[in-house]
Amino acid sequence: MQTQDYTPGDLLVGDYPVAVRTVTIGAGQVLKRGAVLGGVAGTFKLSAAAETDGSEVPSAVLAVDVDTTAGPVQKRVYTSAGFDSSKLILGEGHTVDTVEAAFREASAPLYIHKLA
């Protein structure tokens, strides 16, 4: 089992169980850890509210930085954790509230904390 240490000022907060899985991140993106992702056709990309391909629904948070300019890559995403809202990277049209609502609607164990 993998473990992580808490680092003040980090993306992860709270004592929620942290779970990750490896997924395909779609081509043509440079994303940082904390990017809120949505899935489309078996791959993930930054979730933007105006999309209509399924990726508009936030469903995971990127666990590591990724550069897919050369093509899709396999990387880890958080599927369970608590997050500092100020550390999340949101796609166009999303707010912390819309992302949190999507997580709740899906009954996803992803929790957002507004610390400030």
Instruction: Look over the chain and give the mean of its residue pLDDT values, rounded to a whole number.
Output: 92
**Local confidence band at 115 (pLDDT 50, 70, 90 cut-offs):** confident
Q: For the segment 32-83, what is each residue's pLDDT rounded down to a tens digit?
A: 999 999 999 899 999 999 999 999 999 999 999 999 999 999 999 999 999 9
Superfamily covering domain 19-113: Head decoration protein D (2.40.300.10)
Q: Give the integer Cα–Cα distance in Å for 100 and 75.
A: 23
**The model's pTM:** 0.90
Per-domain residue ranges for the chain? Answer: 19-113
> In degrees, to the nearest 5, what angle opens at C-alpha 93 toward C-alphas 11 and 112?
30
Contact between 103 and 111 (Cβ < 8 Å): yes
Tens-place pLDDT, residues 94-113: 999 999 999 999 999 999 99
Helix (H, G, I), strand (E, B) or coil at 11: coil
Which residues is 13 bridged to in the sheet? none
Decide if 56 contacts 18 (C-beta within 8 A). no
Q: Which residue has the tokens 């056709």?
A: 41
Strands (E), the chain: 19-25, 30-31, 36-40, 43-46, 58-62, 66-67, 73-84, 110-113
Asked whether residue 6 carries a pLDDT value surpassing 60, the answer given is no
